[in-house]
């Protein structure tokens, strides 16, 4: 098929490159990009020309203060900024026709498409198709999605929905689950999927906090028991207590849902509690690190500044958030990922990625994943207070 792709960014480029392995793709972005297997064009008019499917993967940003790397629960809740999407849709509307299907994958709050975007989509057919993909694993996630989410006006499996699913069947894993709903239901599936993960991380890290305060509790004994309780409670994913939830999606999604809870007068704000819990958990960890640093007169070194291993993406980094509390609440000097190891209190920000690191003698290793072992260094398995 002939594919146009608008938004060749952190996620869009990898997604478009996967499509280009099977289809003829051209891309457009406001920033110069160099994809590996398809060509870029200079205007939205060019990217729309003679394309059967036109994908839009542009940002719906918050202000940087809201991305989760610094405390934000005290800030006024805000919806995403939809300016970029609206401007792109307006321009696409000038050049696309009823023979073309436009597919939006950007994350938005429930109700946004029907209220904000559809009035701009007069000259082409439209589907909402948010992706469940993550930085560092975009290409794998494209081929092996947990589900494909498709939003149509009335939630029915329209001819356009069938066309889109037939397109995906050319490169995704056979037997992948499809979930078709209204635009609003598709919006809700995507954003509540993300906030379910945030809630899960907050809950398992609450067990870690309880273990620190009560004593005689190994967090892993509790979480493993819950992990195996798959009948009514949950599956095993995200059931390892450790660092807080992070990345460019989950923290900001919860902030946007705070806005929604207030805007729609739900009468409660679970999402505010989730963000406060995330920050309180980071501050609790910072307090424990500060005790060790002051007791042993050592600086704190945090290994893993990025929000997860294998990427250099720092948006929503829980390591940076812990570091913020160390500096601003406890006046502790910190450093991230030093080129030359120094003696200090080390926080292992990423699970299982520092076993071969050359820690200097006299250092203290704080492992919130409770996996690191050493015969020569003091190791603190944060979250395990069993005697």
Is the pLDDT reported for residue 146 higher than 80? yes
pLDDT score of 132 more than 90: yes
> 268: exposed, middle or buried (C-beta count within 10 Å: 0-12, 13-18, 19+)?
exposed
Model pLDDT for residues 10-23, shown as the tens digit of each residue: 999 999 999 999 99
Q: Is the pLDDT of residue 49 over 70?
A: yes
Fold for the domain defined by 2-181 = Rossmann fold (3.40.50)
What pLDDT score does 261 carry? 83
Quote the pTM value: 0.83
pLDDT at 352 over 90: no
pLDDT tens digits for 274-307?
989 999 999 999 999 999 999 999 999 999 999 9
Is the pLDDT assigned to residue 387 strictly greater than 80? Answer: no
Q: State the angle between helix axes of 219-227 and 183-214 in degrees (0 to 180), rounded to the nearest 10.
A: 150
Mean pLDDT of 329-352: 95
Residue 326's pLDDT band (cuts 50, 70, 90) = very high
Average pLDDT for residues 98-104, to the nearest whole number? Answer: 98
pLDDT mean across residues, the chain = 94
Q: How far is CA 300 from the centre of its chain?
A: 27
**254 pLDDT band (50/70/90 cuts)?**
confident
Token pair, residue 96, equals 């696309």
User: Tens of pLDDT along 34-45?
Assistant: 999 999 999 999
Alpha helices, DSSP H, located in 74-182: 83-95, 112, 138-143, 159-168
Please, are residues 367 and 373 in contact by the beta-carbon 8 Å criterion?
Answer: no
Residues of the chain with pLDDT > 70: what percent?
100
In the chain, domain spans = 2-181
């Amino acid at each position: 098929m002939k594919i146009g792709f608008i938004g060749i960014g952190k996620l869009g480029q990898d997604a478009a490159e996967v499509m280009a392995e099977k289809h003829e793709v051209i891309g457009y972005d406001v920033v110069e990009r160099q994809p590996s297997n398809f060509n870029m064009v200079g205007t939205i008019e060019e990217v729309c020309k003679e394309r059967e499917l036109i994908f839009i993967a542009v940002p719906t940003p918050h202000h940087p203060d809201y991305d989760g790397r610094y405390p934000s629960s005290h800030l006024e809740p805000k919806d995403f900024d939809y300016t970029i999407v609206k401007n792109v849709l307006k321009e696409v509307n000038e050049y696309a026709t009823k023979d073309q299907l436009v597919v939006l994958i950007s994350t938005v709050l429930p109700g946004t498409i029907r209220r904000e975007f559809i009035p701009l989509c007069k000259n082409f057919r439209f589907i909402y198709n948010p992706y469940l993909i993550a930085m560092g694993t975009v290409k794998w996630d494209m081929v092996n999605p947990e589900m494909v989410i498709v939003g149509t006006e009335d939630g029915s499996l329209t001819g356009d929905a069938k066309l889109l699913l037939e397109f995906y069947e050319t490169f995704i894993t056979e037997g992948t689950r499809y979930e078709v709903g209204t635009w609003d239901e598709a919006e809700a599936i995507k954003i509540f999927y993300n906030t379910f993960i945030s809630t899960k991380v907050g809950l398992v890290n609450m067990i870690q906090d309880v273990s620190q305060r009560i004593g005689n509790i190994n967090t892993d004994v509790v979480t493993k028991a819950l992990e195996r309780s798959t009948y009514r409670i949950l599956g095993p994913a995200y059931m390892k207590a450790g660092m807080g939830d992070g990345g460019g999606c989950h923290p900001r999604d919860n902030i946007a849902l705070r806005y929604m809870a207030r805007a729609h007068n739900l009468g409660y704000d679970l999402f505010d509690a989730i963000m406060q819990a995330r920050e309180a958990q980071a501050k609790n960890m910072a307090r424990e690190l500060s005790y060790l640093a002051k007791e042993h007169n050592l600086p704190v070194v945090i290994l893993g500044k990025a929000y997860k291993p294998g990427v250099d993406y720092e948006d929503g980094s829980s390591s940076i958030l812990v570091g913020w509390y160390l500096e601003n609440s406890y006046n502790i000097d910190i450093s991230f990922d030093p080129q030359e190891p120094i003696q200090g209190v080390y926080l292992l920000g990423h699970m299982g990625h520092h076993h071969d690191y050359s820690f200097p003698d006299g250092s203290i290793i704080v492992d919130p994943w409770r996996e690191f072992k050493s015969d020569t260094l003091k190791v603190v398995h944060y979250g395990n207070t069993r005697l």
